[in-house]
Structure 1
Amino acid sequence: MPTNALIKELALDIKLKAGISPTVITSDTTSHVTVSVERALAARSQPLVMLTHEALRRIDARLLAGWELVVDEVPSVSDCKSHQFDCISYLGSIGNYLTVSPEKKAEIKPESIALVENMIKAKDSSALSESALDVLKAMLTPKCSVEVEAQNTKGKRLVRIVRYKDFLPAFSYANSVHILANNVRDTLLGIHAKYQGWGFEPSLFTPEFDGYGKRVELHPFLTGKYSKTQSMMQRNGKPADTWDDGVQLADWLRCITAMVGDEKGLAFAHQWMNHNFNDNITKLPIDSRGINGYQDRHIAICLQHGNVSPDDGLSFHTLGEMLGVPVAEVRKAIEFERFYESTLQAVARTSLRDRSSTEPVTLFVQSMDMAVYLQSKLGRLATINTELSMTPWEKEQSEKKKDKALLQAEVIMMFQIEGVDRQAIAERLNVPYHQVRRWTARLKKVA
């Protein structure tokens, strides 16, 4: 399972309802998790052993032979991160110990390996920053790539750590593998498994599902694509640098506040979204897997996005090579997990999962696209209400784009209305001939 807390909760539930006392092995029950799990698997004396995703990945996979493996939620496969160093901190902390290839791949100099190992062991007394130690530790980790970007114009240098969490060895040795999740195929784990030759079948644990049996009303925010930039757009056509009450998302949230009133609800949002919700709205983390205790809430506001930052995107090529998956598929899977899967997990924190409750659920979601997706997952009683939907506020064109648009209009007028030859237009307006040809490719001169 994903977390210690969720294991503890489910173990109690199993004991009360099924009369079985699971063997729980987590950092809450022992200081030697890996060793304890391996002993329990080897002994085969316990009918049910419960551990975390991370523990599953760390144990000797061969010990799972003869066991049925049931995985709650799709484990995270991508394990990439990045650190920014200025010129001085880079040279003073890690630069002296590394060589960087033209392909940006970093390696520890052979003569520095012993020194680096000692610095990592003595991290409490080390003068190195946590970021520097993290990078050096990654460089000594198998199946891990450290890549160093060139120094930018602001004197900053991005250092990326690229690695993945491999669950396929554990899956290979178990008798059968059942992943309890709404969608496995479209996640990075599913894509990785597919490209490694795995197939998918419905699990014997798959419950019959014909919707949640309660009315669900979906209120989308935007009619177009949802993003941080669009959410932060102001009426003057410029996105705000920091959150304020004049951005488009704040405008929509004021409408929600008036509609919700004093009813209790949940909100899932990134830290950049610094809206002050009323006390009746509880703000929860974006990754809501395993968060329970809010089944009395009938309202959820979902504001997570799946956009990949430019820094994240730089790691996808290497990550794709590690997984044996095309870069485009890596990006698509990560965006799916961050946007669609994360939102579906969030709405499941509400009374949706309480089958004894028949009270309607109201979900305020990011876009029409998300509303349609959730409607397909929540059953026949889910409807979409567009009363609060907003058309994206238009972004002001830059002066460069305006000038280009005016120039294009002039080219078209000279060619189509005045009948001027393309070559003459290019020379008169000082525009490359291929540009003139592209702008007028499907146009005919007036007779």
Structure 2
Amino acid sequence: MINIAPNKLIHTAVSAPGAGKTQALIAQIPSLLSAGRSIVLALPTLGLTDSFVSRLPAGLSYRLINSTTCDHVGSELETALRKKANQLIITTHQSIFAVQPNLLRGWMLVVDELPPVVDFPAFPFEPSELDQLLVNAVEQDGRLHIREGCAGAIETSLATFKAVSAGAERTSMLSKEGACIYECLKDGHPVFIDSEIPNGNRYVRSVVESNCWDTFAAAEEVHVLAASVIGSQFDDFAQVHGFTYARSDFTPAFDGYTSAVTIYPVMPKGRNYSKSAVTITTHGGSATDRQKQGEPLVIDNILKEILQRTIGTPLLFSNNWASFRWLPRGAVHRCSIDSRGLNEYQGETDAILLFGGNPSPSDQLALEFLATKYGRVFRQGFIVTRFLEPSLQAATRTAVRDRSNIRPIQLFVQDGRVAEYLVSTYMPDAVIDWSLSGICPVGEDRRTTVDARRIHVCELFAQGKKNAEIARLTGVHRNTLLSWREEWRLSQAA
């Protein structure tokens, strides 16, 4: 048996959204196929498939394998990869990373956009739901494990759940959330169970790392097309798994955006955008106060002020919790936060970005687990991937990507982090205007006040104490401990 050295090189085509990475790939496909190369292209969403296919040269042979073309995507894709029946296969991220990695041997794998490399599913379970989960799982030292002899029962429960979801006339005791946790247990991912919260529920969460690295290592050659790689979660895990980068031949020439861009952060300098910061009233009351008194939230006032400055019909990117029920129909184009492939609005000059991306308390616990496992901090990669990169993608859905555009571009963004990221990546000549940042009330800055308990807490960190025990010993809230622990980790790493 011949041992094949794993491929640890990723060719990256890094350029601005709209610069022509996909077209640069398409232009070279015919010559690559003529040279006998076998290519499999993985797209992030089904929605991007039609756009890609419509741009292929007439007469080019390809095979499309996804949920719109066949019922059993996995088996169809594995058969095609094994037989090399087609020289160009088009599929999705999810599908390509679900097949056996060794089937990629002999294939050039091209991945459009960075694939997700880690997920942190977390769900609150009511006591009765948790009891159902614990029929086949057991709690031990803050984690859940498959109960001895119950692996088959979990498989059966999942099969029943999937059959019911597909429309079968059967009954499943599993909720969607329970099925997700069972899948994590079945696949060997660590599953954690947190302490009871005031309403009696308990959070169950997992850390799900992608096996895409095995697929990359098996492929003959790997190309990744993206707006950014360095500093992302993808980059963090590429380093962990020993991968290096080289410039891809699919990298397009890009001379920069030509439009005049003004960026308006809505948070004051030095303050980060978050749900808690903008879902208070202008007098500091909570969302509940607003419901009682009919007073608008800060985020409502922010949007109202922005709309007085916008031109045309701006693009609005916001979380679901920002309902804006008062917003007149047609006042904005409501857009998904995952805006990759959203190209129908590039006639508009203004974009409004009012979505968050900071780690939740559950995310922070998952990041701590990864930091312990790999000996490195993953927080900044999380911010880049979940917040800064989506903000760049959203901002570039506008006319800024149109080289012939001569109208000024206005980008209303969450905070200084986003403004600086846009300037440091593909908008170096943009002007940052802070005139909107006074809308959000500035509370007392507690960061300048040293909490007397902090020295003791850091000593407990050094002793390896867990947050729950430290909270009991010191009375410091768990959310505060999460922040302090991360800062302590960074100080230790330095």
Do these two structures clear the TM 0.5 threshold for a shared fold by scoring above it?
Answer: yes
Counterpart among 300, 323, 326 of residue 351 in structure 2 = 300
Give SS of 1:260's match: coil
Give SS of 2:392's match: helix
2:351 matches 1:285: no
2:107 matches 1:67: yes
Counterpart among 321, 338, 347 of residue 272 in structure 1 = 321
Contact 1:238 1:395 in 2 (8 A): no
Q: 2:420 & 2:362 partners in 1: Cα distance?
A: 30
Counterpart among 101, 126, 133 of residue 140 in structure 2 = 101
- Residues 89 and 234 (structure 1 numbering): CA distance in 2 closer, same or farther, change over 3 Å? same
Counterpart among 134, 137, 140 of residue 180 in structure 2 = 134
Deviation at 1:132, TM superposition (A): 2.6
Counterpart among 161, 176, 199 of residue 244 in structure 2 = 199
Describe the superposition over 1:342-388 as per-residue Cα deviations: whole angstroms up to 9, x where unpaired: 10111122222233433332211112332122123334542223332
- Residues 44 and 217 (structure 1 numbering): CA distance in 2 closer, same or farther, change over 3 Å? same
Tell me the C-alpha RMSD between the 2 structures. Answer: 2.7
Describe the superposition over 1:224-245 as per-residue Cα deviations: whole angstroms up to 9, x where unpaired: 3222222224333344347875
2:278 matches 1:236: no
Describe the superposition over 1:329-352 as per-residue Cα deviations: whole angstroms up to 9, x where unpaired: 2x2211211111010111122222
Deviation at 1:79, TM superposition (A): 2.2
In the alignment, residue 319 of structure 2 is paired with which amino acid? Answer: H
Contact 1:268 1:283 in 2 (8 A): yes
Find the counterpart in structure 1 of residue 306 from structure 2.
Answer: 256
Find the counterpart in structure 1 of residue 296 from structure 2.
Answer: 246
2:167 matches 1:154: no
Give SS of 2:264's match: strand
Describe the superposition over 1:49-82 as per-residue Cα deviations: whole angstroms up to 9, x where unpaired: 2111111101222222222222111111122211
Give SS of 2:425's match: helix
2:415 matches 1:377: no
Rg (Cα) greater in structure: 1
- Name which structure has the greater RCO, CA cutoff 8 Å, separation 6+: 2
For structure 2, the 5+ residue unaligned runs are 1-42, 165-170, 453-494
Describe the superposition over 1:135-181 as per-residue Cα deviations: whole angstroms up to 9, x where unpaired: 2333222x312222232343211111321222111211223222111
Deviation at 1:87, TM superposition (A): 2.3
Describe the superposition over 1:213-258 as per-residue Cα deviations: whole angstroms up to 9, x where unpaired: 2222212212232222222243333443478753333222212111
2:265 matches 1:220: yes
Q: 2:395 & 2:355 partners in 1: Cα distance?
A: 12
Structure 2 counterparts to residues 1-150 of structure 1, below 5 A: 1-15=43-57, 20-91=60-131, 93-102=132-141, 104-123=142-161, 124=164, 125-141=171-187, 143-150=188-195
Contact 2:282 2:440 in 1 (8 A): no
- Residues 233 and 397 (structure 1 numbering): CA distance in 2 closer, same or farther, change over 3 Å? farther
Find the counterpart in structure 2 of residue 414 from structure 1.
Answer: none
Q: 2:247 & 2:237 partners in 1: Cα distance?
A: 18
For structure 1, the 5+ residue unaligned runs are 406-447
Find the counterpart in structure 2 of residue 365 from structure 1.
Answer: 413
Contact 1:221 1:388 in 2 (8 A): yes
Q: Normalization by structure 1: what TM-score?
A: 0.80
Deviation at 1:268, TM superposition (A): 0.5
Deviation at 1:392, TM superposition (A): 4.4
Q: 2:100 & 2:53 partners in 1: Cα distance?
A: 24
Q: 2:73 & 2:238 partners in 1: Cα distance?
A: 27
- Residues 73 and 252 (structure 1 numbering): CA distance in 2 closer, same or farther, change over 3 Å? same
Describe the superposition over 1:288-323 as per-residue Cα deviations: whole angstroms up to 9, x where unpaired: 2233322222211011222111122222344456xx
Alignment: residue pair count: 393
In the alignment, residue 235 of structure 1 is paired with which amino acid? Answer: T
